[in-house]
């Protein structure tokens, strides 16, 4: 059996199983999630910064599922290509629930130290997501 990468563990436990406590276990206190921002436009930092984003996103997409299609590991980095599917059922992102099924892709590169994510460079197709639910997005923001 193939050993799971930390990227696969992150997406399965945090996003697919909604185990919020896994965020503390897998994301460093001083970790940075580049490409994801809070309401003030600041990059997400540490579990304390990531959890509100996670809760807001999973309220909007309660059945979100992230498939890690490919991973490439080298030294202290993991690149993961993901396919995200979900149904837009909540208005927590400031957009009325459309009840539309969505699918979008993304790539993240994770830097790992001592078994935790210290940096993540996220490039997900939030523009494609927004067009599927009938709204517009600003750069580097998942939804308005």
According to DSSP, the β-strands at 116-124 and 101-113 are: antiparallel
Task: Decide if 38 contacts 29 (C-beta within 8 A).
Answer: no
According to DSSP, the β-strands at 43-45 and 101-113 are: unpaired
Mean pLDDT of 12-28: 98
- Write down the pLDDT at residue 2: 56
Task: Give the predicted TM-score (pTM) of the model.
Answer: 0.89
DSSP 98-113: ---EEEEEEEEEEEEE
Mean pLDDT of 117-143: 80
- Write down the pLDDT at residue 102: 96
- Write down the pLDDT at residue 139: 39
- Write down the pLDDT at residue 140: 43
Q: Which two tokens stand for residue 27?
A: 């994301």
Domains annotated for the chain, with CATH where assigned, are 6-133 (3.10.450.50)
Query: pLDDT-derived band of residue 93, with 50, 70 and 90 as boundaries?
Result: confident
């Amino acid at each position: 059996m193939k050993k799971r990468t930390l990227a696969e563990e992150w997406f399965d436990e945090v996003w697919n199983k909604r185990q919020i406590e896994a965020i503390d276990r897998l994301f460093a206190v001083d970790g940075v999630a580049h490409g994801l921002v809070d309401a003030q436009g600041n990059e997400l930092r540490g579990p304390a910064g990531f959890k509100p984003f996670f809760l807001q996103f999973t309220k909007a997409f309660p059945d979100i599922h992230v498939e890690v299609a490919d991973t490439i590991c080298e030294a202290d980095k993991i690149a993961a290509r993901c396919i995200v599917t979900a149904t837009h059922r909540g208005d927590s992102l400031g957009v009325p629930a459309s009840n539309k099924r969505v699918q979008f892709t993304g790539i993240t590169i994770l830097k790992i130290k001592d078994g935790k994510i210290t940096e993540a460079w996220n490039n997900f197709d939030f523009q494609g997501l927004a067009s599927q639910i009938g709204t517009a997005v600003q750069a580097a923001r998942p939804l308005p």
